[in-house]
Amino acid sequence: MMSLIEQIKNGKLWRYLGGVHPQENKAQSTSLAITTASIPKHLIIPVKQHIGQGGQIIVASGDRVLKGQPLTASDSFMTVPVHAPTSGTIEHIAQYPSTHPSATPEIAIKLVCDQEDQATPAQPALDYKQLSTSELQQHISQAGVAGMGGAGFPTAVKLNDRQPIEFLLINAAECEPYITSDDVLMRERADDIIQGIEILRHMIKPALCVIGIEDNKPDAAQALEAAIKTLSLSADIIVRKVPTKYPNGGEKQLIQMLTGKEISKGQIPAQSGIVMQNVGTVYAVKQAIIDRQPLLSRIVTLTGKAFPQPRNVQALIGTPISALLTEFECDEANAAAIIYGGPMMGFTLPHAQFSLTKTGNCILTPVKDEIPQVREADACIRCGECAEVCPIDLLPQQLHWYSQAKDVKKLNDYNLMDCIECGACSYVCPSQIPLVHQYRIAKVEVRESDAELAAATIAKERFEKRNERLALEKAQREQRQKEAAEKRRATAKATTGEDPVKAAMERIKKAKAAEQVVTNAQESKGSAVADAIARAKAKKAAAASTDTAVPDTPLPNNEAVIAERKARKAAAKAKREAESSQPAEITTSPAIEAKKAAVADAIARAKAKKAAALSSEMATTATDTPAPAVDAKKAAVAAAIARAKAKKAAAQSGETATDTPAPAVDAKKAAVAAAIARAKAKKAAALSGETATDIPVPAVDAKKAAVAAAIARAKAKKAAAQSGETATDTPAPAVDAKKVAVAAAIARAKAKKLAAQANTVEATHAPESPAPAVDDKKAAITAAVARAKAKKLATQANTVETTHAPESPAPAVDDKKAAIAAAVARAKAKKLAAQANTVEATYAPESPAPAVDDKKAAIAAAVARAKAKKLAAQANTIETTHAPESPAPAVDDKKAAIAAAVARAKAKKLAAQANDVNPTIDPGDNVQPTEPVDNKKAAIAAAIAKAKAKKLAQLGDK
């Protein structure tokens, strides 16, 4: 049994099934020698003339290029560069319709030829025998050599030595009718072809090289054999004639004929040890290596009856078809079509403006009856002729049905993708069904379907990965939070010595217990008083304090309020404790919590007051017992304040709280004491530079004040008992500052009520009086707000104004209270303005009642009223409405603060005057409302007034 090579050498040939025998029509174009086409006016060179990517363009518009100069660069064998076929200038690089049935636009370089054909400097031939395969590959690739047989596959890729190659097959079949370009090439340039083969043989070292040629080309075969003999290569290169049949020139068909090997679906010939190259490609390799000339031109068959003389032409790559048609006198009017390629596999060009590519081997321009016209397809008659001729052994009829149905699965089952689109089936179809056209469309469907499936698989994978990522992130987050919480707990435990979680749990329990008691009390009794008592008891129990029996005197009417305040306090306390640790769930009712908050505020205020009073000596002369205020209410409030102060003193300095000799149950005494207390407070404030606006809100009535005083006394006694002091009749502030604050707050509330009812001067004042502002800014803010409101009022009512309130709000330590107070004052002012249209309503606050006596206070009030009226009469504008304190609607808070200070100072002065014998300053004068038409003046006046007041106060004290 001979080996395959021996068999082949012996002349064995194999066959493939199918194929057709169309009319050859080749003789027309082989009578003439190859003509070199003239250089056209311009060339349009597509950048990409093969599958895959095109090279990088390395020239620009306007560049002058020489023949053979590379126009694109590439760094991989799969991308083949293109070169300038002749010298000229680059006109532009733009999109041109590609020479393809789809005419898809592609980038091409338009080269205007200068007809000089100036070449790049010549280079010596390469001694290929000394070069390695990869070096030769590089040269071939850089020379732009691609497959010239029709597919344009980059040649260098095939010529590698990775796999052992047994056979090098040269495709000289040229089976398609009309085309003779390879034929004449072999006839005229056989030596070059053999030289090219030698280069390839050096590169891939096959065991045998076989040139497969159809037996309708005897001259070409003869020429090749002669060349082989001349070079003494008969042992290595064999010329094998094959029976003419279409499509012998198909790669797999020729391999099968020459070697009997079938290349399986999805395989390349190299895997079977075979490399096949077209003769034109071999010629180009020889030119690249030996002539050192890149691929610049090719042989094109110009045939068809529209050409007077069909011939083969060597034309430059990129030559416009129209140039060829014109030069070779094609009768375009009579041409039925311009076919690029042969009658079987070529396609019709819509016009002649396309350019010649590296794979264009024929321009066929038949006249009307030369080629069967395309007619409307009939239905398939199931004759089976198509299956008889298919060279791949496919079933074109089935493919036809499934292509119509777009049944991708079945098309894959019937191997549609193996169809080489040779056209044999369409050629024989009696119904003239355009089968290949249908298959091309179906192939696109199959490719798209496969791509969709691949994309769907990827999408599914990405979706699942994303879900995993999100789950992982969530788990990590939770883990981190857990660790952080543990860490927090550990550090808390380490620093405070107790486990915060446990502490919080206990607090919650306690709070719940307290709440439980409260709710129980509420449910059982249903009376506010009882509830309050119960809450107080619960609180006591919770605090585990051991109060001695407090003389629980029958509480006056304001018991409910007191009790409510206590409850609020307790609630706020519990809430605060709970919140300070971990977010516990204290279920105190909102009402209780609110009350607690209010109580806390009151405490804060009291503390502030105490702070203010601290700086001054408390137990100094009871200089002037300012007569009780116009109203006993003030006395009670003053008592409360005094208590607070005393308490503070007792707590801090250990002195006997003596400053407020507790008034007896007697109202008068209470009032006196209150007055004394107020005076002291004012003095303290004046000394410390604060602005005291301390007209406490009067109690509802003297009785209540007395009662409150008594309570305070009792508490002071208790405190004294506890601390060892002899604070007998000192209404020393209760042990609990809160209680003082409570009393003060009660008094304020009562005052408010009064104000609403009585519409008296003082009424307006209520809320603010408490502590002198520690914070001027807050006062300023509230002052500004009040001024704005006053403005509004003035514009609305056009009354004198009542605004006044602003300054008064002794900015409590608490912004909120100040705001509330301001709002209340505003409301009152509004009401007053609306109701009384009185002038003086506003005035009271600042000119506090530390009048020496009622009379003086009344006088002062009257003066204020007059002034206000004057103001109103004068300006009747927004600004004027604003009595002293609201000098001008100062644009800025600072001025407002100054104005406030001024007002307060004035008030102080008034009081001081009442006490002193320093009449230098006429109350009337200084109280003059700076009628600030001009802000600046107001500021100046305010400053002056303030200074004066200060001086007065100091003088008065001495």
Partner 1 sequence: MTTILIAIITLVILAALFGLGLGWAAIRFKVEGNPVVEQIDAELPQTQCGQCGYPGCKPYATAVANGEEVNLCVPGGADTVEKLADIMGVEAKPIAEQEHDAGVKLVARIIEEDCIGCTKCIQACPVDAIAGATRAMHTVIVDACTGCKLCVAPCPTDCIVMEPVQTAWKWQLDSIPVVNIK
Q: Write the single-letter amino acid at 944.
A: I
**Identity of the residue, 352 or 754, whose beta carbon is nearer to partner 1 in the bound complex:** 352
**Identity of the residue, 456 or 475, whose beta carbon is nearer to partner 1 in the bound complex:** 456
Of the candidate spans 300-308, 461-469, 505-513, 629-637, the one that interacts with partner 1 by CB under 8 A turns out to be: 461-469
H runs (alpha helix) in 406-434: 408-413, 424-428
Is there a contact between 846 and 783 (Cβ–Cβ < 8 Å)? no
- What is the smallest separation between the CB atom of 336 and partner 1, expressed in angstroms? 14
Tokens (6 digits) for 9: 């050498």
Listing DSSP states for 157-220 in one string gives HHS-SSS---EEEEEE---STT--HHHHHHHH-HHHHHHHHHHHHHHH--SEEEEEEETT-HHH
Count of Cβ atoms closer than 10 Å to residue 88 Cβ = 25
Tokens (6 digits) for 192: 């070059």
Cα dist from 638 to 547, 697, 732, 912, whole Å: 27, 8, 13, 18
Sites for partner 1 among residues 419-458 (CB under 8 A): 437, 440-441, 444-445, 447-448, 452, 455-458
Tokens (6 digits) for 14: 């194999």
Q: Does 104 bind partner 1 (CB under 8 A)?
A: yes
- What is the smallest separation between the CB atom of 817 and partner 1, expressed in angstroms? 43
Beta-carbon contacts of residue 775 (< 8 Å; ≥ 6 apart) = 811, 813
Supply angle C-alpha 631, 632, 633, rounded to 5.
90
- What is the smallest separation between the CB atom of 436 and partner 1, expressed in angstroms? 10
Beta-carbon contacts of residue 927 (< 8 Å; ≥ 6 apart) = 847, 863, 864, 867, 884, 906, 910
Q: Does 477 bind partner 1 (CB under 8 A)?
A: no
Supply angle C-alpha 876, 882, 883, rounded to 5.
115
**Identity of the residue, 102 or 545, whose beta carbon is nearer to partner 1 in the bound complex:** 102
Q: Which of 690, 885, 679 is nearest to 771 (CA)?
A: 690
- What is the smallest separation between the CB atom of 109 and partner 1, expressed in angstroms? 21
- What is the smallest separation between the CB atom of 170 and partner 1, expressed in angstroms? 33
Q: Does 548 bind partner 1 (CB under 8 A)?
A: no
Per-residue x/- track, 160-199, partner 1 (CB under 8 A): ----------------------------------------
**Identity of the residue, 97 or 250, whose beta carbon is nearer to partner 1 in the bound complex:** 97
**Identity of the residue, 101 or 500, whose beta carbon is nearer to partner 1 in the bound complex:** 101
- What is the smallest separation between the CB atom of 443 and partner 1, expressed in angstroms? 9
Q: Write the single-letter amino acid at 104.
A: T
Sites for partner 1 among residues 328-367 (CB under 8 A): 350-351, 353
- What is the smallest separation between the CB atom of 445 and partner 1, expressed in angstroms? 8
Question: Which one of 92, 382, 460, 525 is in contact with partner 1 (CB under 8 A)?
Answer: 460
Question: Which one of 466, 487, 502, 509 is in contact with partner 1 (CB under 8 A)?
Answer: 466
Strands 167-172, 274-278: pairing is: parallel
Sites for partner 1 among residues 12-71 (CB under 8 A): none
- What is the smallest separation between the CB atom of 162 and partner 1, expressed in angstroms? 30
Q: Does 484 bind partner 1 (CB under 8 A)?
A: no
Count of Cβ atoms closer than 10 Å to residue 866 Cβ = 15
Q: Write the single-letter amino acid at 137.
A: Q
Q: Which of 714, 754, 757, 764 is nearest to 736 (CA)?
A: 714
**Identity of the residue, 219 or 448, whose beta carbon is nearer to partner 1 in the bound complex:** 448
- What is the smallest separation between the CB atom of 460 and partner 1, expressed in angstroms? 4
Question: Which one of 92, 265, 382, 465 is in contact with partner 1 (CB under 8 A)?
Answer: 465
Tokens (6 digits) for 458: 């990827």
Tokens (6 digits) for 544: 């585990």
- What is the smallest separation between the CB atom of 356 and partner 1, expressed in angstroms? 18
Question: Which one of 32, 51, 459, 955 is in contact with partner 1 (CB under 8 A)?
Answer: 459
Of the candidate spans 138-146, 460-468, 525-533, 881-889, the one that interacts with partner 1 by CB under 8 A turns out to be: 460-468
Sites for partner 1 among residues 123-162 (CB under 8 A): none
**Identity of the residue, 42 or 440, whose beta carbon is nearer to partner 1 in the bound complex:** 440
Q: Which of 304, 356, 274, 275 is nearest to 99 (CA)?
A: 356
- What is the smallest separation between the CB atom of 449 and partner 1, expressed in angstroms? 10
Contacts with partner 1 by CB under 8 A: the residue count is 26
SS3 of residue 249 by DSSP: coil
- What is the smallest separation between the CB atom of 247 and partner 1, expressed in angstroms? 21
Sites for partner 1 among residues 72-101 (CB under 8 A): 97, 101
- What is the smallest separation between the CB atom of 438 and partner 1, expressed in angstroms? 9
Cα dist from 806 to 180, 580, 784, 809, 845, whole Å: 111, 36, 7, 6, 10
**Identity of the residue, 32 or 444, whose beta carbon is nearer to partner 1 in the bound complex:** 444
**Identity of the residue, 205 or 462, whose beta carbon is nearer to partner 1 in the bound complex:** 462
**Identity of the residue, 58 or 455, whose beta carbon is nearer to partner 1 in the bound complex:** 455
**Identity of the residue, 77 or 328, whose beta carbon is nearer to partner 1 in the bound complex:** 328
**Identity of the residue, 96 or 843, whose beta carbon is nearer to partner 1 in the bound complex:** 96
Give the whole-angstrom CA distance, residue 915 versus residue 921.
Answer: 13
**Identity of the residue, 443 or 753, whose beta carbon is nearer to partner 1 in the bound complex:** 443
- What is the smallest separation between the CB atom of 801 and partner 1, expressed in angstroms? 50
Tokens (6 digits) for 209: 């090289």
Sites for partner 1 among residues 755-774 (CB under 8 A): none
Count of Cβ atoms closer than 10 Å to residue 179 Cβ = 28
**Identity of the residue, 458 or 541, whose beta carbon is nearer to partner 1 in the bound complex:** 458
- What is the smallest separation between the CB atom of 448 and partner 1, expressed in angstroms? 7
Q: Which of 366, 344, 514, 530 is nearest to 422 (CA)?
A: 344
Q: Does 102 bind partner 1 (CB under 8 A)?
A: yes
Q: Which of 941, 850, 949, 953 is nearest to 905 (CA)?
A: 949
- The span from the first CA to the last CA of the chain, in angstroms, equals 143
**Identity of the residue, 443 or 950, whose beta carbon is nearer to partner 1 in the bound complex:** 443
Q: Does 474 bind partner 1 (CB under 8 A)?
A: no
Q: Does 103 bind partner 1 (CB under 8 A)?
A: yes
- What is the smallest separation between the CB atom of 582 and partner 1, expressed in angstroms? 32
Give the whole-angstrom CA distance, residue 946 versus residue 958.
Answer: 18
Give the whole-angstrom CA distance, residue 248 versus residue 213.
Answer: 9
- What is the smallest separation between the CB atom of 47 and partner 1, expressed in angstroms? 19
**Identity of the residue, 353 or 553, whose beta carbon is nearer to partner 1 in the bound complex:** 353
Tally: H helices and E strands in the chain = 28, 16
Beta-carbon contacts of residue 692 (< 8 Å; ≥ 6 apart) = 612, 681, 682, 684, 685, 686, 772, 810, 904, 908
**Identity of the residue, 197 or 442, whose beta carbon is nearer to partner 1 in the bound complex:** 442
115, HSE (Cβ side, Cα atoms, 13 Å): 3
Q: Which of 950, 954, 955, 904 is nearest to 927 (CA)?
A: 904
Residues at the interface with partner 1 (CB under 8 A): 97, 101-104, 350-351, 353, 437, 440-441, 444-445, 447-448, 452, 455-460, 462-463, 465-466
